[in-house]
Amino acid sequence: MEVLPMNPVVMIPDAYGHKTNILTPPSHRQVHSLTPATAVTISIPAGAQTVLMAATTDYWVQYEGDAVLPTASVTGGKAPEFNPMARSVAGLAALSFVSEKAGFLSLGFYG
């Protein structure tokens, strides 16, 4: 797989130089198909520090392990996370996603 250079997360300033909530486009983008109750594990691209996540359906993400749909309380501190939008992925090798419904997952990685 080709290694692309990673853009850093940069908030675009407005006409007065104030920071806005507008980000530059990520240089590494992926789309993954989600199948109900089937984990999809995605390797973190080289140089990635941050990921933005969006999907056409609700999803759970597990860091450094296989995502499983919760069926009961998970209180040990290693529960999957529900619908996060942005996370640091520095030092992680992979993310795993699972959903109750079919859909598409969009990931944008920044360095």
The stretch 56-80 carries a mean pLDDT of 96
Interatomic CA distance for residues 14 and 53, integer angstroms: 25
Interatomic CA distance for residues 23 and 12, integer angstroms: 6
- Given a contact cutoff of 8 angstroms between Cβ atoms, the answer to whether 1 and 44 are in contact is no
Q: Tokens for 67, please give them.
A: 């995502």
Interatomic CA distance for residues 104 and 111, integer angstroms: 23
- Given a contact cutoff of 8 angstroms between Cβ atoms, the answer to whether 2 and 28 are in contact is no
CATH number for 11-110: choose from 3.30.70.360, 1.10.3720.10, 1.20.120.80, 2.60.120.10.
2.60.120.10
Q: How far is CA 101 from the centre of its chain?
A: 18
Better-predicted residue by pLDDT, 5 or 16? 16
Q: Identify the pLDDT of residue 1.
A: 52
